[in-house]
Amino acid sequence: MNVEQKMIIQAASEIAQDFDPEYWREKDKKHTYPEEFWKALVKAGFTGIIIPEVYGGGEMKMFEMILAMETLTSESCGLAGTWFLCLTSIFGGLSIEKHGNENQKEKYLPKIVKGMEFCLALTEPDAGTNTLNTQTMAVEKGGEYVINGQKTFISGADRANGMVLITRTTPIEKAPKRTLGLSLFLVDLPNPAIEVIPIEKHGINYSKTCDVFISDLRVPKENMLGEKDKGWYLILDTLNPERMSFSAAAGGIGILAIKKAVEYAKQRNVFGAPIGSYQAIQFPLAEAKAKIEAARLLNYRAAWRYDKGQPCGAEANMAKVAAVEAGIQAVYHAMQTLGGYGYAVEYDVERWWREINLIRLAPVTRQMALAFVGEHVLGLPKSY
């Protein structure tokens, strides 16, 4: 690890110390946004980690971003340690850095460094996992696009000032290929043509995830991000890092839960010995730890390949499957280790359980990640 990478870990660790599990318990319970945490991330330069220096960022790579996310998540913040950086720095910063033109970079990247929040509007109620079935349509009229449609489960849309919006610009039946005809737009928020309604959910209650209704939204042509109709290929440069981010989160939550369980198992004594001395308690935690560390290396490899401009879909999807299963095993057995207290809000494990369960179904579901591995790594026929 080089000096800069060690500094990232050190800085993330210092932030994590100021935002302990009690802070997150309160934010989750009261459904309040962690303003103080966000300000600390911005102040430390974390929103600009991957943004070039010329726009005020740290000009580092996805690998360093993963180190920051892992540290924040595993040292105390749980999913929040990854979540907010992913929304703004990956969805906004990375998408624009990769595919924005000079005007777009100058307009948005310095603001993202200073804490402008972003969101990504991809999922639709009728398309779900099948992004190519996107129905939201952008129609060119004069110098602008008029956009109509609906998005769902858009995290951070209630607060963000910027949105990367995925639409069709060519209807699927007219596109030469199913993968052509999607385009990306940069949209400034709030906008009277966009209605945002939060969805009540199971966890991560310190951040809202929303339905988004778009009616006659007018967007200047120059707000298109990257080439028209090539949006499917462009967005993969954001979705793979998103997968890597959530793998970092899954492993990080697992490590956090294991630490809590170990601490508890060392001091809890019910039959004359600490419960941590029983193999039934010890081995599942040890196994989860081994699997998390293995998944972590695979995720580093995915990030390394991405940073080198090499294909990384195989590693990103395999790391996601492995990290989530290992993380789920860790949190599940942490809950068993704490017995009844594992179910009590005060001990935090139940919150991490709610958080880690999201990562099995988003950003990519376990099934779709496995379908990718089956087809592209194993060479089996497409399963759907």
Interface residues toward ligand FAD, by CB under 6 A: 119-123, 128-129, 153-155, 201, 209, 358, 361-363, 365, 367-368, 371, 383-384
CA atoms lying within 13 Å on the CB side of residue 274:
10
Strand 162-168 with 118-121, pairing: parallel
State which residue, 129 or 215, has the beta carbon closest to ligand FAD: 129
**Closest CB to ligand FAD: residue number:** 128
Q: At its nearest, how many Å lie between ligand FAD and the CB of residue 125?
A: 7
> Are 133 and 263 contacting, i.e. CB atoms less than 8 angstroms apart?
no
Which phi and psi angles does 12 have, rounded to 5°?
Answer: -65, -40
Nearer to ligand FAD, 250 or 338 (CB): 250
Q: Rounded to the nearest whole angstrom, what is the least distance from the CB of residue 137 to ligand FAD in the complex?
A: 17
Burial of 216 (0-12, 13-18, 19+ CB in 10 A): exposed
User: Can you state the angle between helices 3-18 and 62-72, rounded to 10 degrees?
Assistant: 30
Quick one: 170 or 367, whose CB is closer to ligand FAD? Answer: 367
No. of helices (H) and no. of strands (E), the chain: 12, 8
SS3 content of the chain, % helix, strand, coil (to 5): 60, 15, 25
Report how far Cα 302 is from the mean position of its chain's Cα atoms.
15
Cβ contact 304:319 at 8 Å? no
Question: Cβ 154 to ligand FAD, closest distance in Å?
Answer: 5
Q: Which is nearer to ligand FAD, 295 or 371 (CB)?
A: 371
In the complex with ligand FAD, which residue's Cβ is closer, 86 or 322?
A: 86
- The owner of tokens 């967007």 is 219
CB of 235 to ligand FAD, least distance (A): 10
Smallest separation (angstroms) from ligand FAD to the CB of 135: 13
Alpha helices in the chain (DSSP H): 3-18, 21-30, 35-43, 62-72, 80-85, 95-99, 102-113, 231-267, 279-307, 313-338, 349-361, 366-372
Please, what is the minimum distance in Å from the beta carbon of residue 278 to ligand FAD? 35
Q: Pick between residue 62 and residue 369 the one whose CB is nearest to ligand FAD.
A: 369
Spell out the residues 6+ positions from residue 162 whose beta carbon is closer than 8 angstroms to its own: 92, 108, 111, 112, 116, 117, 118, 119, 186, 187, 188, 189
CB nearer ligand FAD, residue 11 or residue 362: 362
Least separation in angstroms between residue 263's CB and ligand FAD is 29
Give the list of residues 6+ apart from residue 214 with CB closer than 8 angstroms, or none.
136, 147, 148, 149, 150, 151, 165, 193, 194
CB of 70 to ligand FAD, least distance (A): 20
Which token pair is 320?
């996601």
**Least distance to ligand FAD, CB of residue 274, Å:** 37
Q: Which is nearer to ligand FAD, 201 or 230 (CB)?
A: 201
Rg of the chain over Cα atoms, rounded to whole angstroms, equals 21
Cis peptide before 190 (omega within 30 of 0): yes
| Among 70, 28, 59, CA closest to 248 | 70
Shortest Cβ distance from residue 319 to ligand FAD (Å)? 17
**Cβ-based nearer residue to ligand FAD, 136 or 169:** 136
Residue 162's Cβ-side half-sphere holds a number of Cα atoms within 13 Å equal to 26
Residue with Cβ nearer ligand FAD (17 or 129): 129
